[in-house]
A and B are shown apart, each in its own frame.
Chain A
């Protein structure tokens, strides 16, 4: 059974602070990990993906992966009100084009 777990929130963070979103997964065979952002009433849009242990930075976003502990996190620096959305963690088993298994998402609120 593939499971991806996220705290549903809401997670409230003041503007300008660092938002930290966490995700754990059950299948040790998972090879690639994705973070999607979903605004209310909209479809998910890809923010970042990570395959290797460690950190991967892209602008204000940093993805962190720890395969031994089976968790992946997303840090958002200098949080903006426009970052308020639901953040979905997704995991792919294997290295091909298999479908992603999604968590239920964390609702992030950035307080002005």
Chain B
């Protein structure tokens, strides 16, 4: 597609439920990133996929968070047993994976845990 596509754009869920957020990167981009941005805060790195390499999970805040990327394209971020502090916008980004490349963001998935 022309840009990074994320779904759902908005999600309200009850505390304790699981949620899945989807990201479809720019066609041909080998690198995919998930960031989280809480209200009034900066971007917090969560996880990074590059091609077929093992993902960099160093930013995941707890074991309730996981992500996978199937076929080197679409990625799903899963949050289990959601908590109110998980409320944030979850931003997916992609890049072409080359040195000096730039990262382009999707419009984000706004998650509210009530």
Residues of A within 8 A of B (CB): 32, 34, 42-46, 49, 51, 88, 90, 95-105
Contacts and interface: CB of A to CB of B under 8 A. Distances in A.
Given A45-B105, A51-B100, A102-B43, 9 more contacts: A88-B42, A96-B99, A97-B50, A97-B98, A97-B101, A98-B56, A100-B33, A102-B35, A102-B45
B42 A105 contact: yes
B105 A99 contact: no
30 contacts: A34-B102, A34-B103, A42-B107, A43-B105, A43-B106, A43-B107, A43-B108, A44-B91, A45-B105, A49-B102, A88-B42, A95-B99, A95-B100, A96-B97, A96-B99, A97-B30, A97-B31, A97-B96, A97-B97, A97-B98, A97-B101, A98-B56, A99-B45, A99-B56, A100-B33, A100-B45, A100-B103, A101-B45, A102-B35, A102-B45
Nearest to A4: B42
Contacts, number: 58
| Secondary structure class of chain B's binding surface, majority of residues | loop
Interface string B27-38: 000110101000
Nearest to A100: B103
Interface of B: 30-31, 33, 35, 41-43, 45, 48, 50, 56, 59, 91, 95-108
The 10 A-B pairs with the shortest beta carbon distances in the complex, nearest first, are A104-B42, A102-B43, A43-B105, A97-B31, A97-B97, A95-B99, A99-B48, A99-B45, A102-B42, A43-B107
